[in-house]
Structure 1
Amino acid sequence: MASKDGKIFDTIVYIGLGVNALTALYLLLMYFEVI
């Protein structure tokens, strides 16, 4: 039970970090492209 919930939570966190990383990279590329 705890292991299953922990795995789901870790997956959500991992996806969240991935989305944040891609968003930051996209904004950074857009910023330098404008410059």
Structure 2
Amino acid sequence: MRKNKNSIAVKVAKRILISFFIVIIFVVLLFKMLGIL
């Protein structure tokens, strides 16, 4: 049972990490667009 909880926690952590990474990339691209404009 604990292993299942750990795997769920890992999946959630990975999802949060991926979403955080996407947000950072989006912000960087937005700043680059503003810099160009």
Alignment TM class, shorter chain as reference: over 0.9
1:4-34 Cα deviation digits (max 9, x unpaired): 0000000000000000000000000000110
> Where do 4+ consecutive residues of structure 1 move more than 2 Å?
none
Identity of counterpart residues, as a percentage? 11
**Larger gyration radius, structure 1 or structure 2:** 2
What TM-score, normalized by structure 1, do the two folds share? Answer: 0.97
How many aligned positions are there?
35
Which 5+ residue runs of structure 1 have no aligned equivalent?
Answer: none
